[in-house]
Amino acid sequence: MRNPLRNMTKTIPRGMLIAGLLCMLATSSVQYNIAQSASPLNGTLTVFAAVSLTEAFTALAQRLKTLYPGLRIQFNFAGSQSLRTQLEQGAPADVFASANVDQMELAQQSGVVLVESHLFVKNRLVVIAPRDNPGKLAAFRDLATPGLKLVLAGPHVPVGQYSRQALRQAAADYGADFEAQVLQNLVSEEHNVKQVVTKVQLAEADAGITYVSDITPRIKPDILTLPIPEAYNQIATYPIALVNGTRQRTAAQAFIDFVRSDPGQALMASYNFIPVKE
């Protein structure tokens, strides 16, 4: 039998091989440095995050764990307004990531998070429908079709607020009563964006409005997506901040720094979030 490795050494110039080896050595020493600086990071970090961040943050946490093996990251994913309320009622947490600025500002006003917050990603809205399209939707404006069963998040939920803003702005093109006509079709006001996804995925509703990032590979086979025209689509902005009184300040800051770092932003982008350029 021929040894494939030996075959390779023949085809690759020796100089390149050495360079490659040096590279590997260099990266391993970098990793070593990170691991060393990471060594004091242990214990449990509790992150309260908007439910739309579920998949991206779970992946992010796995990545962070390879850097800080001693760190355990615990998530509480819910509607941002639920998380803000929980924080106000004294729920212990270290980091709060909200799906809109309003909920972050409310949390800052009540003093449960630190005043310094950072926008770390953006998101866009999209209309979703069950795969077999029972409401026969062809475009965004079809949301006003009488009798359509539409599910939105409630007006206090960030995505519900963004959805209503999109409907309001569309009035310029589709007529002043477009928003009212669409809201006439509302059959349920859900508590967070994942519940909107579920109701459409189960085909209970004919349509819903969610974030682009909610169209995960897991639900993609069950749904159709219809774009919302750029002119009305909303850019959701996600701020992140340290929770006031965190006992894991270093780890919490490391989490926030990693989300905002280039690899963190690249990972968020791979989950269909829009990275934020500094």
Partner 1 sequence: MLLIPVLLMAGFLVLPLLAIFLRILPQEGIWTTLQQPLVTEALQLSLVTSLSSLGLTALLGTPVAYVLARYRFRGIGVLDTLVDMPTVLPPTVAGVALLMTFGRQGLLGQWLDTIGLQISFTTVAVVLAQSFVSAPFYIRAAQAGFQSVDGELERVAYTLGYSPLRTFLRVTVPLAFPALLSGGVMAWARALGEFGATIMFAGNLMGRTQTMPLAIYIAMESDLAAALVLSALLIIVPFGGLFLVRALLRRRNVVAYA
Find the shortest distance in angstroms from Cβ 187 to partner 1: 4
Encoded amino acid at 252, one letter: A
Task: Give the tokens for residue 245.
Answer: 């009184």
CB atoms within 10 A of CB 31: 12
207 contact partners, CB below 8 Å, separation of at least 6: 127, 128, 129, 135, 137, 143, 148, 149, 150, 151, 200
Minimum distance between the CB of residue 245 and partner 1, rounded to whole angstroms? 21
**Which CB sits closer to partner 1, 78 or 254?**
78
Binding residues for partner 1, rule CB under 8 A, total 21
The radius of gyration of the chain's CA atoms, rounded to the nearest angstrom, is 23
Torsion on CA atoms 82, 76, 59, 191, rounded to nearest 10: -30
Phi and psi angles of residue 184, each rounded to the nearest 5 degrees, phi first: -60, -30
C-alpha pair distances (Å), 30 with each of 35, 36, 128 = 9, 10, 44
| Binds partner 1 (CB under 8 A): choice among 94, 179, 190, 214 | 190
The site map against partner 1 for 248-277 (x = CB under 8 A) is ------------------------------
Q: Residue 73 or 129: which CB sits closer to partner 1? A: 129
Nearer to partner 1, 154 or 275 (CB): 154
Q: Which of residues 2-41 bind partner 1 (CB under 8 A)?
A: none
The residue range among 20-28, 118-126, 203-211, 235-243 that interacts with partner 1, by the rule CB under 8 A, is 203-211
By the 8 A CB rule, do 122 and 235 touch?
A: yes
Among 72, 118, 122, 156, which residue interacts with partner 1 (rule: CB under 8 A)? 156
User: Which residue stretch of 11-19, 35-43, 173-181, 199-207 sits at the interface with partner 1 (rule: CB under 8 A)?
Assistant: 199-207
Which among 10-18, 47-55, 148-156, 160-168 is the span making contact with partner 1, rule CB under 8 A? 148-156
Q: Which two tokens mark 71? A: 């760190």
Closest CA to 79 of 242, 162, 193: 193
Least separation in angstroms between residue 191's CB and partner 1 is 7
Dist. CA 275–CA 8, nearest whole Å: 39
Residues of this chain, 74-133, that bind partner 1 according to CB under 8 A: 79, 81-82, 84-85
Out of 191, 212, 243, 248, name the contact with partner 1 by CB under 8 A.
Answer: 191
205 binds partner 1 (CB under 8 A): yes
How far is residue 71 CA from its own chain's centroid? 22
User: Closest approach of Cβ 226 to partner 1, in Å?
Assistant: 20
- Binders of partner 1 among 160-189, rule CB under 8 A? 186-189
Largest CA distance in the chain: 77
Q: Give me the residues that bind partner 1 (CB under 8 A), please.
A: 79, 81-82, 84-85, 134, 149, 151, 154, 156, 186-191, 199, 202-205
